[in-house]
Amino acid sequence: MVFLSRMDGADESLPHFRLELCLIAQGILRVAGVDEVGRGPLCGPVTAAAVRLRPDCIPQGLNDSKKLTRDKREELALRILDCADVAIAHATVEEIDTHNILRASHIAMCRALVALPGGCDHALIDGNMLPRDLAIRGEAIIGGDAISLSIAAASIVAKVERDRIMVDLAQQYPGYGWERNAGYSTAAHLEALRTLGPTPHHRRSFKPVHNILYQDLSTTP
């Protein structure tokens, strides 16, 4: 397991492609960046993406998805899907509650890598830990979405996909504001939890949801 931080001398403001090129120069041609979105929300799946960029077709403007506007993320996601190999996978609310959010995130990452068209020989994974089920070589890169263009691309694709899922779920379960908060614990979401109660898509293992369920059970005659 290798833990990397930003390379000495690198531009502090933008991710780069040097890690990928270094691996390609060693004969490791199928290099993918992997990232997940949705570890913090109170509801919905955790979503992961694996992206293998082509050195001659890298969209301009790639960055950590959190630093981009919604419109820019959606624009870049379309460009990434058009010129890169991409796979998206999820871990369900049930899997999050059965295992834990870290383990579920790793499950989603491994699923994305398995589904990646053309396969992968080496994974650049955002975070400080490699998934224990990772079947190929990989590196865990702390803050990887701000360092590696491949991971940045994965973060964008995963974010756009999960946001779309939450917008769809918001139509089925109105009142929680998921189309705006993506399931995160905003004041409005917490108030809706208290007044409307948890949905089947809420994570029972997360403290705010658990506390409301426990309170409801404790007050039931």
The two three-digit tokens of residue 52, written as one number: 């293998």
Beta-carbon contacts of residue 8 (< 8 Å; ≥ 6 apart) = none
Total domains in the chain come to 2
Indicate if 196 and 163 belong to the same structural domain.
Answer: no
| Residues in the chain, total | 221
> Which residues face 31 on adjacent strands?
122
Classify burial at 70, counting beta carbons within 10 Å of its beta carbon; exposed 0-12, middle 13-18, buried 19 or more: exposed
Has residue 3 been placed in a domain? no
Q: What are the pLDDT digits (tens) for 108-166?
A: 999 999 999 999 999 999 999 999 999 999 999 999 999 999 999 999 999 999 999 99
Indicate if 141 and 80 belong to the same structural domain.
Answer: yes
Indicate if 117 and 186 belong to the same structural domain.
Answer: no
The domain in which residue 109 lies consists of: 13-171
Has residue 160 been placed in a domain? yes
In the chain, % of residues over pLDDT 90: 90
3 state DSSP class of 55 = coil
